[in-house]
Amino acid sequence: MADAKASPKDYLSGLKPIWCPGCGDFAVLNAVAKAFAELGLPKEKVAVVSGIGCSSRLPGYLGTYGFNAIHGRALPIAAGLKLSRPDLTVLAVGGDGDIFSIGGNHLPHVSRRNIDLKCIVMDNAIYGLTKGQVSPTTPIGEKTVTTTYGSIEDPIQPLKLLLSYEASFVAQSTSLDLNHLISMIVAMMRHKGFAFLNVRSPCVTYRGKEQYDVIRSRSKYIDKEPGYDATDMRKAWHHAITPEYISLGILYEKYRDTYEDRRDKLREAAKAGRDCTLTDVMKGFMK
């Protein structure tokens, strides 16, 4: 299946991104294309689904199948696609507003079902496309166009949530380190089951260029520590909630049956060894 000669450019549509100069999402786009190339994915077998937001423009810049859908619904669309087309590689992407705010209820359910799809959040801690409103990851106290006097809400901690949802792969990276980002995307695509990657991707327009410095100065590559065991939930938890640094790397990865695995068994049970026809089924109405 792998195509040896794949180059990242093959995965781009050629449409010029309308992101602001300096936006972190450029790096994510590049990393996705490079990761796809590294994995040699046939591009007609890849579908990238997004909601609405600056970040959700990403599928339009890829040359794979893409679906730039509605705000917050990348995950259920991706789930429906993957469940009915298990042969595809399905990636959902979006922003922190898209996936944690309006779309927040899809995460626990897609995680517990362990559907074999991937999700990248471009977390800029702001609503970019709608011009700078507070998001669920915006720090408390921050002034935005809807928090004139500073936000009074504690933000969510995405990694902690995903761990408690039992996502079978939880990682974090940033737009500042392209190579790390690529490696994380490659790893998540190789994982079997639901994989989640939070990317700290600065919005230079509404959170300022300083975000680059903030992220750079506070990053820590946790899985580069010798002996790091990504199957240790307690450690993962610790790295997810520590206020000291921004944990980068695979915090947690543990395989378990996917929804698709279990469904295959269920189908076997339903068929009970024989192929069923419509006529058979109709007979059920005659008892």
Partner 1 sequence: MDCNDIIIGMAGSGGDGVVSAGDILTASAAAEGIYAIMLKSFGPQIRGGESSCRIRLSTKPVLSQGDVIDVLVVFNWPDFARFGAELEVRDGAYVLVEEKDKTEDIPLPNAAKCKITKIPFEKLAVEDAGNPKAKNIVTLGVLGAMFGLPVEGIKREIEKKFKKKGPEVVAANHKAVDVGMEYVKAHGGPAELHFAHSSGKPLMALTGNEATAFGALAAGCRFLASYPITPATEIMEWLSREMPKFGGTVLQAEDEISAINAVNGASFGGVKAMTSTSGPGMSLMMEAIGLAAMAELPVVIVDVQRGGPSTGIPTKTEQADLMQAVYGMHGDAPHAVLAPADVEDCFEVAWRAFDIAERYQMPVIILSDQLVGQRKETVAPFNIDTVKVAVRATPDLSEGVKFKRYEDTPTGISPMTWPGMKGGEYLASGIEHTEDGSPSSMHETHEKMIEKRSRKLDALSGEFKFIRRYGADKPHVGILAWGSSKGAVREAVEKLGANGVSAAALIPELMHPLQKDEIRKFVASCKNLLVIEMSHSGQFEHYLGANGLLPEKTLHYRVSGGRAFSAREIESAVRAAAEGVEYKAKAQEPRRMMGKDEE
Ligand X SMILES: Cc1ncc(C[n+]2csc(CCOP(=O)(O)OP(=O)(O)O)c2C)c(N)n1
Where do contacts with ligand X occur on this chain (CB under 6 A)? 52-55, 71, 94-98, 122, 124, 126-130, 135, 203
Binding to ligand SF4 in span 20-49, by CB under 6 A: 20, 23, 25
Tell me the C-alpha distance between 11 and 250, whole Å: 25
Concatenating the DSSP letter of every residue in 7-45 gives -GGGGB--PPP-PPTT-THHHHHHHHHHHHHHHT--GGG
| Residues contacting residue 272 through CB under 8 Å, at least 6 positions apart | none
Nearer to ligand X, 52 or 187 (CB): 52
Interaction pattern, residues 197-216, with ligand SF4; x per rule: CB under 6 A: ------xxxx----------
Binding to ligand SF4 in span 49-78, by CB under 6 A: 54
| Shortest distance (Å) from residue 279 CB to partner 1 | 7
Determine the interface stretch with ligand SF4 among 19-27, 214-222, 255-263, 267-275 (rule: CB under 6 A). Answer: 19-27
- Contact with a copy of itself (CB under 8 A) among 1, 2, 4, 152: 152
- Please work out the total of residues on this chain that contact ligand SF4, with binding judged by CB under 6 A: 11
- Contact with a copy of itself (CB under 8 A) among 65, 139, 155, 214: 155
Tell me the C-alpha distance between 158 and 65, whole Å: 28
N residues, the chain: 287
Tell me the C-alpha distance between 207 and 22, whole Å: 12
198 near 215, Cβ under 8 Å? no
